């Protein structure tokens, strides 16, 4: 396939960026989207030009590093799929593809398609630790937990912290990410001692980082590569109100 690419190039955080046109030739339908960009970069490097900067690590949909907006959609057109797992067979010969970085004030562009997502690390740190002594690995059945609860907590733990939910939201809200991280602990007995201080700490840190509020658009759920449901946000909001009420705020 021959594809026309329009790729966001930006030399640094304070430099204005722009879309630059490239042609990708001999693209195999079996290539992943990132492999296609690798080939474009090899061509740029061979001709002495600056390679396009983009993030990736596992390329298996598990680390959350890849972060491209493809034709206006974070992670591209395939539902429940990270952009590293998106394949070029999804496109047709002659297509024009626009590639941009996550866009949110709290995720400033570092270079080209790379954004700084360290705000998520600070939110996780604000959640603090689980204080109970868990000791060694216990037998699986020493703490009886209903299967439905375990599965909901595990589904929440599938969040890879990619930030696509923020990129898709018109408010740049991090609520889907926050609520997934809070649910994976808040649903389980081990997460109860700090459940309410954790929700307050993480939401306040998200506000400090400049993420917006949730207005129930549902865009986050639509683009989440791990299909985290927005029902987590309702659970987080209930916990937050309970924590605020108890603290007399
Ligand atoms: S909730 Fe989904 S979109 Fe948001 S950070 Fe987690 S995996 Fe990524
Ligand atoms: S590179 Fe790890 S999830 Fe895409």
What average pLDDT does the segment 32-44 reach?
Answer: 98
Whether the pLDDT of residue 94 is over 90: the answer is: yes
Tell me if 84 CB under 6 Å of ligand 2.
yes
Which atom in ligand 2 lies closest to the alpha carbon of residue 59?
1
Q: Which of 64, 97, 96 is nearest to 83 (CA)?
A: 64
Which residue out of 38, 62, 74, 114 has the highest number of ligand 2 atoms within 8 Å of its CB and is therefore the one to mutate?
A: 62
How would residue 29 be classed by pLDDT, with cut points 50, 70 and 90? very high
Predicted confidence at residue 131, as pLDDT, reads 81
Q: What is the pLDDT of residues 17-26, one digit of tens each?
A: 999 999 999 9
Whether the pLDDT of residue 2 is over 90: the answer is: yes
Whether the pLDDT of residue 135 is over 80: the answer is: no
Which residue out of 33, 64, 81, 161 has the highest number of ligand 2 atoms within 8 Å of its CB and is therefore the one to mutate?
A: 64
Q: How far is the CA of 164 from the centre of ligand 1 (A)?
A: 6
Q: What is the pLDDT of residues 166-212, one digit of tens each?
A: 999 999 999 999 999 999 999 999 899 999 999 999 999 999 999 99
Q: How far is the CA of 24 from the centre of ligand 1 (A)?
A: 30
202: Cβ contacts below 8 Å, ≥ 6 apart: 123, 124, 126, 127, 178, 181, 182
233: Cβ contacts below 8 Å, ≥ 6 apart: 175, 176, 179, 214
Q: 246 and 102 in contact (C-beta within 8 Å)?
A: no
pTM of the shown model: 0.94
Task: Tell me the two tokens of residue 25.
Answer: 């030739």
Question: Which residues form ligand 1's pocket by a CB distance below 6 Å?
Answer: 159-165, 176-177, 180, 224-226, 228
Q: What mean pLDDT value characterizes the chain?
A: 95
């Amino acid at each position: 396939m021959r594809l026309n690419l329009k790729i966001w190039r930006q030399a640094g955080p304070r430099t204005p960026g722009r879309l630059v046109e490239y042609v990708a030739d001999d693209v195999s339908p079996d290539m992943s989207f990132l492999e296609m960009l690798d080939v474009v970069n090899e061509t740029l490097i061979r001709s002495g030009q600056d390679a396009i900067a983009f993030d990736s690590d596992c390329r298996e949909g598990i680390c959350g590093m890849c972060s491209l907006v493809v034709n206006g959609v974070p992670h591209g057109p395939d539902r429940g799929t990270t952009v590293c797992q998106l394949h070029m067979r999804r496109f047709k010969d002659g297509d024009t593809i626009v590639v941009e970085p996550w866009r949110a004030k709290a995720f400033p562009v570092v270079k080209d398609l790379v954004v700084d997502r360290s705000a998520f690390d600070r939110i996780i740190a604000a959640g603090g630790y689980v204080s109970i002594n868990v000791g060694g690995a216990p037998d699986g059945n020493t703490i009886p937990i209903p299967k439905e609860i375990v599965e909901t907590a595990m589904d929440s733990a599938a969040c890879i912290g990619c930030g696509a939910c923020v990129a898709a939201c018109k408010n740049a809200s991090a609520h889907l990410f926050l609520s997934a991280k809070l649910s994976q602990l808040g649903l389980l007995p081990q997460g109860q001692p700090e459940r309410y201080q954790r929700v307050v700490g993480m939401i306040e840190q998200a506000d400090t980082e400049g993420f917006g509020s949730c207005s129930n658009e549902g865009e986050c759920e639509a683009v989440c590569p791990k299909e985290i449901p927005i029902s987590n946000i309702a659970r987080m909001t209930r916990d937050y109100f309970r924590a605020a009420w108890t603290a007399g705020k």
